[in-house]
Structure 1
Amino acid sequence: MDASKPSKTADLVAAVRARHLKIYNPPIFVDPFAIQFCGKGWRRILGSKLLTWFVIDFMLRDILPLAPWIATRARYCEDIVDSMIEQGVEQYVIIGAGYDSFAMRRKDLEDRLTVFELDQPGTQNEKFRRMAEYSIPTPKNVRYVDSDLNEVPLFTALKENGFDASKPTAFSWFGVTYYLPLETIVQTLQSVADNSARGSALFFDFRIVLDQVPSEWVVAHQKSAKFVARRGEPILTEFSPDELSELVLDCGFSSTDIPDTDTINLQYFSKMPASQKLTPTFRLCHAIC
């Protein structure tokens, strides 16, 4: 991916969040800024029932079942971040922030939490443009850090922008690992484990390696990879849960939790129809320093 250009998958994530509010009652995750952070094309599609049906329900029907993961990972993370804030955590780092709106939604935390948003300059500049377009004010507690993890070490970028490594910190890293080479993933995990204060935690998602995807979901898994590759962001790395857990511990974390899909479905989707629940194609990881 060209770091100087906005991420097309970040645009897609905003669109999925916006659509989630329309079709889930109650929604798993509420992001009122999502529609404003969509590109013009997605806003037009989501504003028309006919276009929504044709583009999303018809053209993207094979990968549509994967969409609930986007809302779920955000809800899962923010539930834990809230509990960490109540325990005194004062820093939250969002790696690969895209069009994340946490700081805008949580004005109640402006005086309690410093948020560091890391992303490549192309996506970050487009976010600023869309904020200006809709007169969305910049939260006073956010530090925007333009950084490419393939080029600049995570903590080098953070410390240059006021990050205090002596304080326990929450880190989120969603929608990123599968677009990175294994070497960069390992470097990032080691960096967080080696440089973070005790009690810090990292939350991220990962794609399940193909031979562990149930047969009924193999086509969706493969087509989703082709979909993002055509948009310039090919899938580079996938894991089995056991492999990922072992890697996280080897990188220096004290413990890790990778809840299975049934557990997450029971937690957030117990009253939802099967068509709106999570597919066993991704997993979430909560790693503790």
Structure 2
Amino acid sequence: MPVDFETDNFGEKLAAQGYDRSLKTLFLLEGLIMYIPPEAVDETLSFIAKNSGKGSAILFDYYPESVVDGTCELEAGKNIRNYTKQQGEPLQFGIREGMVEAFLVERGFSGVQNVTAEEYRKMYFHGINKDREVCDLLFFAHAVIE
């Protein structure tokens, strides 16, 4: 479902597609929240937390706030920030390191799981992929609505 998170109403768009707020739903926000303004992130998460069936969940990837605001000391962080800006899609939102659980709990979620690069490397990169590089600055978060 196409949505412009800066101008469209996420809830109205979902309703127009037949969204049933009583059903358990997975909201997959991969490759999204880092590119929209903090206000749009808050509005989206607030809608999901208040308008989703019990057991619904969110899954998203994110960068640390330091990558987004340019204070990351790592060359990879600077490269990510510069590249996205050069492509016309600058990073707009990040979560302070170590704060994803508090961030999501404040917005009505529970059961927060944060997956680091080291963790997903161990979980998924085996066999011919065992030496594949992964970005140490990209995290994944999962949380539910009870």
Bucket of the pairwise TM-score, normalised by the shorter protein: 0.7 to 0.9
Divergent runs of 4+, >3 A: 270-274
Matched, 1:261 2:117: yes
CA contact (8 A) 2:112 2:141 kept: yes
Q: Which runs of 5+ in 1 are unaligned?
A: 1-117, 120-146
- Counting matched residue pairs gives 141
Q: Which runs of 5+ in 2 are unaligned?
A: none
Q: TM-score by structure 1 length?
A: 0.46
Matched, 1:149 2:1: no
**What CA RMSD, in Å, does the superposition of the two structures yield over aligned residues?**
1.9
Of 46, 67, 70, which residue of structure 2 is paired with 1:190? Answer: 46
Higher relative contact order (CA 8 A, sep 6+): 2
> For residues 254 and 273 of structure 1, what CA distance do their matches in structure 2 show?
32
Matched, 1:283 2:139: yes
The structure with more radius of gyration: 1
Of 91, 95, 103, which residue of structure 2 is paired with 1:247? Answer: 103
Of 19, 22, 30, which residue of structure 2 is paired with 1:166? Answer: 22
SS in 1 for 2:99: helix
Provide closer, same or farther for how the CA distance between residues 241 and 197 of structure 1 changes in structure 2, counting only shifts above 3 A: farther
Aligned pairs (5 A) from 1:192-207: 192-207=48-63
Provide closer, same or farther for how the CA distance between residues 241 and 287 of structure 1 changes in structure 2, counting only shifts above 3 A: farther
> For residues 232 and 226 of structure 1, what CA distance do their matches in structure 2 show?
10
> For residues 220 and 243 of structure 1, what CA distance do their matches in structure 2 show?
21
Percent identity reads 23
More helix by share: 1
Q: Which moved more, 1:262-271 or 1:249-258?
A: 262-271
Alignment deviations for residues 135-190 of structure 1 (CA, whole Å, 9 cap, x no partner): xxxxxxxxxxxx21212221211001211111101110011111111111111111
Specify the alignment match of 1:237 in structure 2.
93
